[in-house]
Homo-oligomer: A and B are copies of this chain.
Amino acid sequence: MRRFELITLGTGAALPARGRYPTAQLLNVHEGLYLIDCGEGTQERLRAQGINFLRIERIFISHLHGDHYLGLQGLISSMHLMGRKAPLHVHGPAPLKGIIDIQLRASETYLRYPLQVHVNPDVSGTVVHTDHRLEVVALALRHRIPTTGFLFKEQPAPRGLRKDRVAEIPHYLRDAVKQGADLERADGSVVANELLTLPPPPPRSYAFCSDTAYEPELIPFLHGVDLLYHEATFTEQLIGRARETMHSTAAQAATLAREAGVGQLLLGHFSSRYKSEQALLAEASAVFPNTLAAQDGRRYPIAERTDVNNL
């Protein structure tokens, strides 16, 4: 079973609140580690989860409010001190590179690994990264400063060989058949791939939307994602405050989830004024029942649907 798992390292909002750290999440896709936002204290949260920083390949920063990126400089520096050699890619708003560079210069740090900073695009749907595990697509969020969400789409798995037909495929051709090739027999006859294989499990997807006002333009991009993390800073009672600060209410997050037809909604970024997330969760669940309130240090695996694949 290949892993596709979100770990919420920090689920709080701008002000520190007991029990909730500022935003940071780790996405594990087939044992490749992707960090999403990096609030202050992210290193410590990673340690608490027993995660080796050096395995992180790529970091996605949504925007430059402190609660979403102030742990980044320390993480970059720790990776250096721990002897990282592998390249690190950081995606973020345009000013991020200058912020990193001025601090590296002030500390006279010459990184022993290549650090590449990529600028977030303005337009939803832009592919910002592709590798053998996933494709990452930008989502233009609506906040006080330029803010980007990210949609992580698993690459399709190979097709599965049908148990009742596998014996007739020579070993050296099995990979090609999994990739969709027809089977050419020694006698020249051809067996169509569809007769030998079953479709792969459907690719899984995760979307991260924080911080943002209610933004219905995201709906087509979020259609059918398995798990949507959406900020829910306020209850409906403070919808005016949500508008002013360009945040969402829990019910707005749920409305987006419902309209996009996502599998599950995960709420976070609760204002520190709420001692408990119960009211936020209740308001969202009334609109979209399959809703969870995120907790720090929790794991949210998305299972691979192997029922459609007999491999």
Interface contact B95-A106, CB-CB below 8 Å: yes
Indicate which residue in B47, B67, B103 contacts A18 across the interface (CB closer than 8 Å). B47
How far, in angstroms, from A77 to B40 measured CA to CA in the complex? 12
How far, in angstroms, from A145 to B105 measured CA to CA in the complex? 10
Residues of B within 8 A of A77 (CB): 14, 66
Interface contact B66-A107, CB-CB below 8 Å: yes
Chain A interface category by residue count: 20 to 34
Indicate which residue in B14, B41, B78, B145 contacts A41 across the interface (CB closer than 8 Å). B41
Within 8 A of B (CB), among A66-118: 66-67, 70-71, 73-74, 77-78, 81-82, 93, 95-96, 98-99, 102-103, 105-108
How far, in angstroms, from A95 to B74 measured CA to CA in the complex? 17
- Give how many copies assemble into the complex: 2
Residues of B within 8 A of A102 (CB): 95, 98-99, 102
Indicate which residue in B65, B95, B106 contacts A64 across the interface (CB closer than 8 Å). B106
Interface contact A40-B71, CB-CB below 8 Å: yes
7 A-B pairs with CB atoms under 8 Å apart are A15-B81, A40-B43, A40-B70, A64-B107, A65-B107, A70-B73, A95-B105
Chain A residues at the B interface, C-beta cutoff of 8 Å = 14-16, 18, 40-41, 43-44, 47, 64-67, 70-71, 73-74, 77-78, 81-82, 93, 95-96, 98-99, 102-103, 105-108, 144-145
A-B complex: 5 closest residue pairs judged by Cβ atoms = A64-B106, A95-B106, A66-B77, A40-B74, A70-B74
